[in-house]
Amino acid sequence: MIFKILLIILIAAPVIAFAAISYGKMLAFIREKNNIEKARLARARVESGKEAKSRTENRKAEKRTKNKGKKDKKDKKEKKDKKEKRR
């Protein structure tokens, strides 16, 4: 009876050890995979932030050029009005 228990323990011990080692490797792999995914997402967030900044800068530049054109038209009208008043 004791020999059967010892035999079972001798067979089960390496199997349990192998399972524990495999489980540890699997967890390490998953952890590394998650770290890579987090880094990729962070990089994408930074890049999208840069794109958003450049988009807002482009919009501001477009507004400046549009406003500049409007100001030029107003200046021309004012000059014409002044010339007409002088006459």
DSSP structure string for 28-66:
HHHHHHHHHHHHHHHHHHHHHHHHHHHHHHHHHHHHHHH
Examine the pLDDT at 75 and tell me if it is beyond 90.
no
What residue type is assigned to position 3 of the chain? F
Place of tokens 């770290």: 35
Residue 1 is predicted with a pLDDT of: 85
Is the pTM value of this prediction over 0.85?
no
What pLDDT digit, counting tens, does each position of 23-59 carry? 999 999 999 999 999 998 888 877 777 666 666 677 7
What residue type is assigned to position 69 of the chain? G
> H helices then E strands: how many in the chain?
1, 0
